Amino acid sequence: MSRQSVAKAHQKIQELAWEPLYHDPVSQYGTDYTFSKAQKKDPLKQVLRSYFPMQEEKDHRVYGAADGAIRGNMFRQVQERWLEWQKLFLSIIPLPEISAARAMPLLFRTVPNPELHNGQAIQMIDEVRHSTIQQNLKRLYMNNYVDPAGFNSSLRNFQNDYCGTIGRQFAEGFITGDAITAASIYLTIVAETAFTNTLFVAMPAEAAANGDYLLPTVFHSVQSDESRHISNGYATLLMALADEGNHALLERDLRYAWWNNHRVVDAAIGTFIEYGTKDRRKDRESYAEMWRRWIYDDYYRSYLVPLEKYGLVIPHDLIEESWNQIWNKGYVHEVAQFFCTGWLANYWRMDPMTDTDFEWFEYKYPGWYDKYGAWWENYARLSMPHGNKPIVFEDVDYQYPNRCWTCMVPCLVREDMVMAEIDGVTRTYCHEACRWTDVEAFRPTYMGRETPSMGRLTGNREWETLYHGWNWADVVSDMGYVRDDGKTLVAQPHLDLDPTKMWTLDHLRSCPPLLSPNVLLNEMSTDEKQAFHANYVRGGPAGRPAPAEAV
Amino acid sequence: MTSTTERSVPKMDFTNAEAGSRTFPDSTARNYNYFVPAKRKQSHYEDVTVEVQPDPRHYLAQGWLYGFADGRGGYPLEWTALKAWGQDRPVPERYPGSGGKGYDWPAHGWHEFRDPNEEWELTFFRYNSNVERQVNANIDTARETKAFEQWNPNWVAFVEQHVGAWMHVEQGLGLYVFANANRRAPTNMHNNAIAVNSMHRIRFAQDLALYNLTLSEEIEGFDGSAHVKTWNEDPAWQGVRRVSEQLTGIDDWAEAMFATNIVFEPLIGELFRSQLVQQAAPGNGDFVTPTVVGAGEFDFATRDLRWTTAMFDLLTRDREFADHNKAQIAQWLSVWVPRCLSAARELQPLWSQPDLRPPRFEDGLDRVKNRFEGILAGLDIPTPKEISQ
């Protein structure tokens, strides 16, 4: 290493930037934000001469640990309950990582500060690191864990599975639409600064408690890069705040990004941490406690609130509402229950809860058993094919939910479901904030102001609708969630690998067809839709249909 | 007497969850099964790279979920005029009751590309760390042995102005051509290779800048800011600057890659680095600069050019669109060859500045033209008439 100090070296590389004299660089991404040129300093102060050896050293530690895990037979003590959920997580996460790399150029022309572009280029290659190191971790699991099914098919499954589709927002939101909304506010200000805490810090701790020390090794290495990316976002945010014309857009984008991250990340990571663990020590933190610490205290109170004095309008109401959803409305429990209701449409095995789990849940979330206990007892009872059908077809006091058109998590907290008619189609939303995102935020005008660069919500956003009327055996075959004997399902609602206890396509063949609640809703008259909605919002908790009204 | 309270720690279980402990369907299916490898066996590089960036023609049943204001999401194939077989087939239509299936792998020819350097994070950081260590070691050794004292004064001026000016080329193209293009190509294999190429250039730019800083500290009178003035004002460099800026202005990502790595680099980059700096330095007492510049030259000649030719080779021999692609490339050549040759000729005064002259400019230019023609011939592209200008 050269004896030149990092500060001096960093100062020197600022001489590299130049303004065009003859031709402007191509401008490929739009924004409705305005920036005036500002001498905002590169917060990373990273010089490649020291950056590359630093990353190499981090790699040495990661791959050394991987070697150690294999030689030390780590998988003899890994909890299957935990690793099964990693089939979902590790199929999702490499795409958000690489999408963050792809997002960086969105900022080159829209944020006129060459010094920040250096930091963005380093973030780009950091993200290539994260994506490939995570793919490699998944490959190691596939090779060394007892059940490779679901790991071996992960990127096909991630792309056609509804859970993967929910997770994909956490990637596509970075790379399209208004460049600042996507690559700055959604990606760096909210996703990286707030929610990587639960993704890359809280969750690895839970992995370690379940006998897996490789996930923490890889993800803490990743998280040590995230802290630099957070600085990138902060510098851009301060530049945006300098122009008052941006304040209304910042308010819009913080509301959208916050709420969408809450809906997506809390659904997934909350489920992994609460329902994927075997560690039921009463003094270990619940997801709600982690959320309160990492997101509410560390992000909201320590990072966001101090920005208020610069004119940033903070969505206090949505942050409090997110906590309300997690603590009072059982959001994570509702999601886990839904995932397990639809186990057959997925590609990992989902372990039933036991008395030990019940006791922990009741201790951490008083009242949990009265709401969810009976359903989980039914889940265990119906987990093996002994003449019964999968739980989604059995009478267990559960109403299959409608999809939220915006976040694509179903409308699980029934009382919050709202509807809107767009282009002659009735869409359902899990919450007013998701309706607002679709109907008001992602539009070419916002509060009377032209927003021509704002993105669009696109795609076939209701998974069930694609398979409306299909036999479930055909659905699972179409998605490719079948093992190499041609009939046993990848997914199972239990962890027993005895082939005689595993569900097959034959079991599904005799089940009722898949019917999309959203297709059925749109077949109703206006009055019927209103009645349906009135009934739906009286349902729950735990997916219970609305009680019959007194005559 | 001391007492200890039991610590709360997770309980370890013997779970028997290691591979091979049980036999059941899929218990030995330990390969990623969603793509067909380029060779007989899946490579490590393919496993960590292929299909991370999805394609609605494959498995993306619900399509892209977010779009730009015009509704386009993801990685539109129309972001280049070049085409790969199968791409004109429409994206499979999904609708109520349609199911989710797409085309069989690879669906279209773009997915056949593999980076021959097989770069992923492990290889990338190892390689670049090694380069940095070697460059630093060379510079440190030169400093400790007072090697810079052997430079004659004209060579000192040449390095501060002209070797220094090259850092701006690397920085500008690294950021605004290559990093920019990592959002544009249709597959993860393309975009990762482009991102790696980008970092080679930015690293080389920084190597030159920090070398320049060292020289400022070691050579009395060395003007560490002269490179900026040269880049901004020296007429010999304005042609290179103009064409560099034109490269950053290209909208079509494949054109940007072709114009930069196939045309600009051989005709200007290698002309300056290999035919001038590397040839002139030793005679002027400088054994250090060639090692710094040589690291960048090695990146291009052995890695960046390699992935670029592998990508264009598929396109110029495409089973459906070879003729279309070659016609498009011929049009690009008609634009970029004259621009690059003109800029190369503007550099000619540099050849007369060192006391001990390098081989003649025209000889150097002939060599890079020959190399350029060889690269094109390898891609089955005829030599453009403009090269004889």
Chain B residues with CB under 8 Å of A154 CB are 32, 34
Confidence of residue A40 (pLDDT cuts 50, 70, 90): low
Please, which residues 272-311 of chain A have a Cβ atom closer than 8 Å to chain B?
A: 278-279, 281, 283-284
Q: Is the Cα dihedral B325, B331, B332, B333 positive or negative?
A: positive
Q: Which helix (H) or strand (E) holds A204?
A: helix A203-209
> CB B18 to CB A144 under 8 A?
yes
Number of other residues whose CB lies within 10 A of the CB of residue A2: 20
**Minimal Cβ distance to A468: which of B97, B182, B212:** B97
Between helix B305-316 and helix B188-218 the angle, nearest 10°, is: 150
Q: For A519-546, what is the mean pLDDT?
A: 98
Provide, rounded to the nearest whole percent, the portion of chain A with pLDDT above 90.
90
pLDDT over 90 at A4, yes or no:
no
For the domain that residue B252 is a member of, what is the CATH number? 1.10.620.20
Chain B residues with CB under 8 Å of A452 CB are 69
> CB B73 to CB A176 under 8 A?
yes
Q: Tell me how close the Cα of B301 comes to any Cα of chain A, in angstroms.
A: 21
**Minimal Cβ distance to A128: which of B18, B195, B248:** B195
> CB B18 to CB A135 under 8 A?
no
| Residue B7 forms part of a structural domain | no
Confidence of residue B322 (pLDDT cuts 50, 70, 90): very high
pLDDT tens, residue by residue, A456-504: 999 999 999 999 999 999 999 999 999 999 999 999 999 999 999 999 9
**Minimal Cβ distance to A28: which of B33, B136, B251:** B251
> CB A136 to CB B47 under 8 A?
yes
Q: For B267-288, what is the mean pLDDT?
A: 97
Q: For A526-547, what is the mean pLDDT?
A: 98
pLDDT over 80 at A42, yes or no:
no
Q: For A536-543, what is the mean pLDDT?
A: 98
Interface confidence, given as ipTM, is: 0.97
DSSP, residue by residue, B334-380: HHHHHHHHHHHHHTGGGGGSSSS--S-HHHHHHHHHHHHHHHHHHTT
pLDDT over 90 at B99, yes or no:
yes
> CB B191 to CB A102 under 8 A?
yes
| Residue B81 forms part of a structural domain | no
> CB A159 to CB B14 under 8 A?
no
Confirm or reject contact between A15 and chain B (CB < 8 A): yes
| Residue B93 forms part of a structural domain | no
Strand partners, A418: A429
Confidence of residue B61 (pLDDT cuts 50, 70, 90): very high
pLDDT of res. A39? 65
> CB A124 to CB B232 under 8 A?
no
Q: What is the C-alpha to C-alpha distance for residues B213 and A512, in angstroms, rounded to an integer?
A: 74
Domain that holds residue B197: 121-388
Instruction: Sort strands A449-450 and A445-446 into parallel, antiparallel or unpaired.
Output: antiparallel
> CB B29 to CB A483 under 8 A?
yes
Q: What is the C-alpha to C-alpha distance for residues A113 and A39, in angstroms, rounded to an integer?
A: 7
> CB B25 to CB A466 under 8 A?
no
pLDDT over 90 at A112, yes or no:
no
pLDDT over 60 at A551, yes or no:
no
pLDDT of res. A45? 77
Tally of structural domains, chain B: 1
Confidence of residue A1 (pLDDT cuts 50, 70, 90): very low
> CB B18 to CB A73 under 8 A?
yes
Confidence of residue A31 (pLDDT cuts 50, 70, 90): very high
Please, which residues 134-163 of chain A have a Cβ atom closer than 8 Å to chain B?
A: 135-136, 139, 142-149, 152-157, 159-160, 162
Q: For A84-110, what is the mean pLDDT?
A: 97
pLDDT of res. A199? 84
Confirm or reject contact between A517 and chain B (CB < 8 A): no
Instruction: Please name which of A346, A338, A337 lies closest in space to residue A476, comparing C-alpha atoms.
Output: A346
pLDDT over 60 at A3, yes or no:
no
> CB B69 to CB A453 under 8 A?
yes
| Residue B3 forms part of a structural domain | no
> CB B59 to CB A155 under 8 A?
yes
pLDDT tens, residue by residue, B129-147: 999 999 999 999 999 999 9
Q: For B167-183, what is the mean pLDDT?
A: 98
| Residue B32 forms part of a structural domain | no
Q: For A28-50, what is the mean pLDDT?
A: 84
pLDDT of res. B221? 95
| Residue B48 forms part of a structural domain | no
Q: For B271-278, what is the mean pLDDT?
A: 98
Choose, out of B42, B53, B68, the residue to mutate when testing the contact with A (most A CBs < 10 Å): B68
Number of cross-chain residue pairs from A and B with Cβ atoms under 8 Å apart: 402
pLDDT of res. A235? 87
pLDDT of res. A114? 85
Q: What is the C-alpha to C-alpha distance for residues B176 and A100, in angstroms, rounded to an integer?
A: 17
| Residue B36 forms part of a structural domain | no
Average model confidence (pLDDT) across chain A: 95
Q: What is the C-alpha to C-alpha distance for residues A60 and A165, in angstroms, rounded to an integer?
A: 34
pLDDT of res. A201? 84
| Residue B78 forms part of a structural domain | no
Provide, rounded to the nearest whole percent, the portion of chain B with pLDDT above 70.
99
The dihedral formed by the CA atoms of A193, A195, A200 and A206, expressed in degrees to the nearest 10: 140
